[in-house]
Amino acid sequence: MASPRRIRERLFSRPRLIRRYWSEARQRKIRDRSKSARGLRRLRRLMTASGAPRSDTPVKMALQIGTLQMLTSRV
């Protein structure tokens, strides 16, 4: 594979390529964000199923993921 610097040089010497590169990166970021949102929704559903109060923040939930995974993997 070409070195990152060579890739970058080639990218920034061609404006159209740069644009495509950045738009792809943006798409990827958006996709990742939606993926994590879906994960959070799933997690929230699991939390409410396990009797946790609905007002739990994502951070609190993230802290509880460990125990949740233990619970779900044991079953």
Q: How far apart are CA 40 and CA 38, in angstroms?
A: 5
For the record, the structure tokens of 11 come out as: 């990218």
Q: How far apart are CA 38 and CA 30, in angstroms?
A: 12
Instruction: Tell me how far the alpha carbon of residue 16 is from its chain's centroid.
Output: 28
For the record, the structure tokens of 72 come out as: 């779900």
| CA nearest neighbour of 52 among 33, 74, 71, 73 | 71
Looking at residue 28, what is its pLDDT? 72
Looking at residue 41, what is its pLDDT? 74
* Stated pTM of the model: 0.24
- Give the tens place of pLDDT for each residue, 30-75: 666 666 667 777 777 766 666 655 555 666 666 666 666 666 665 5
